[in-house]
């Protein structure tokens, strides 16, 4: 009898998935509060599920989101336990998951849409705190300017290019926030959203000495801010 080949632990064979496991069903009706809560989680709900439109592992999703693997694995298990993710197969010893559907219908009775801060409040507080921390970090890298130093404000889209070495540039990764209110048609509004989403989708993690984890938050809504 021919000898059985020895498995290579560094290159485990990839499991061939049945056709029904490669693509999630088109739609799923959410039926439990646990499913609704997990799906509406701003950071680890739909955003994480999007990584599983084709079979993949929790570690691969963590790498794609530039998130700690243990944190993503925890939330992947939550999504699986409540039925929003299902096991699609294995790659070596790692479990591959796929989203339970591409579209989820959530009954109004399971979502407090009349209290939107219940859904977005935690995420907005986290964004505010992280942005404030980034400002303090940037100020620290500037060397804590004294009271006699000027604060320079550049009008327009960006500051002048100083051609500094980004490996030592203390001004690199300056936090930025831009607000614009404009009158748009529904078609223009959707086109603007698509264009901004495309920019974020094209961003790729760069493994260099000067690279740093960076966050971009995209928000758009009908209406305007009343800051006065």
Lowest mean pLDDT among 57-66, 99-108, 165-174, 202-211: 165-174
The model's confidence at residue 137, banded by pLDDT at 50, 70 and 90, is confident
Q: State the pLDDT at residue 64.
A: 87
Find, among 83, 21, 78, 12, the residue nearest to 55 by Cα: 21
Distance between the two ends of the chain, CA-based, in angstroms? 84
The answer to whether 22 and 54 are in contact (CB under 8 A) is yes
Look at residue 169 and tell me whether its pLDDT is greater than 50.
yes
φ/ψ of 131, rounded to 5, equals -70, -40
Report the DSSP beta bridge partners of residue 95: 90
The model's confidence at residue 11, banded by pLDDT at 50, 70 and 90, is very low
Task: Average the pLDDT over 198-207 and give the result.
Answer: 86
Task: Average the pLDDT over 97-123 and give the result.
Answer: 82
Find, among 32, 62, 51, the residue nearest to 98 by Cα: 51
Q: State the pLDDT at residue 154.
A: 63
Q: Where are the domains of the chain?
A: 19-110, 113-142
Query: Strand 85-91 and strand 94-99: pairing?
Result: antiparallel
**For the chain, what is the mean pLDDT?**
81
Question: pLDDT over 90 for what percent of the chain?
Answer: 42
Query: Of the CATH numbers 1.10.3720.10, 3.40.605.10, 2.60.120.330, 1.10.10.10, which one belongs to the domain with range 19-110?
Result: 1.10.10.10
Q: What is the pTM of this model?
A: 0.61
The residue whose two tokens read 């760069």 is 206
The larger pLDDT score, comparing residue 67 to residue 226, is at 67
Look at residue 142 and tell me whether its pLDDT is greater than 90.
no
Q: State the pLDDT at residue 89.
A: 92
pLDDT digit string (tens) for 20-59?
A: 555 667 889 999 999 998 998 888 999 999 999 999 999 9
Q: State the pLDDT at residue 221.
A: 92
The larger pLDDT score, comparing residue 214 to residue 118, is at 214
Lowest mean pLDDT among 24-28, 163-167, 182-186: 163-167
Find, among 74, 43, 40, the residue nearest to 217 by Cα: 43
Find, among 187, 157, 9, 169, the residue nearest to 93 by Cα: 9
Tokens at 137, concatenated: 């970090």
The larger pLDDT score, comparing residue 163 to residue 53, is at 53
């Amino acid at each position: 009898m021919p000898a059985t080949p020895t498995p290579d632990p560094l290159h485990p064979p990839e499991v061939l998935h049945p056709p029904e496991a490669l693509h999630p069903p088109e739609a799923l009706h959410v039926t439990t509060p646990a499913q609704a809560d997990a799906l509406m989680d701003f950071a680890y709900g739909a955003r994480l599920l999007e990584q599983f439109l084709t079979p993949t592992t929790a570690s691969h999703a963590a790498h794609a989101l530039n998130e700690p693997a243990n944190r993503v694995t925890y939330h992947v298990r939550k999504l699986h336990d409540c039925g929003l993710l299902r096991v699609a197969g294995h790659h070596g010893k790692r479990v591959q998951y796929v989203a339970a559907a591409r579209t989820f219908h959530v009954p109004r009775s399971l979502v407090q849409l009349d209290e939107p801060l219940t859904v977005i409040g935690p995420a907005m507080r986290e964004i505010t705190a992280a942005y404030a921390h980034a400002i303090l970090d940037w100020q620290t890298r500037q060397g804590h300017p004294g009271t006699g130093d000027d604060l320079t404000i550049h009008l327009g889209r960006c500051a002048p290019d100083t051609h500094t070495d980004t490996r030592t540039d203390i001004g690199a990764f300056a936090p930025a926030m831009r607000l614009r209110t404009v009158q748009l048609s529904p078609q223009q509004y959707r086109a603007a959203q698509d264009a901004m989403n495309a920019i974020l989708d094209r961003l790729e993690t760069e493994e260099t000495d000067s690279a740093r984890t960076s966050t971009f938050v995209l928000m758009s809504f009908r209406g305007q801010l009343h800051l006065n």
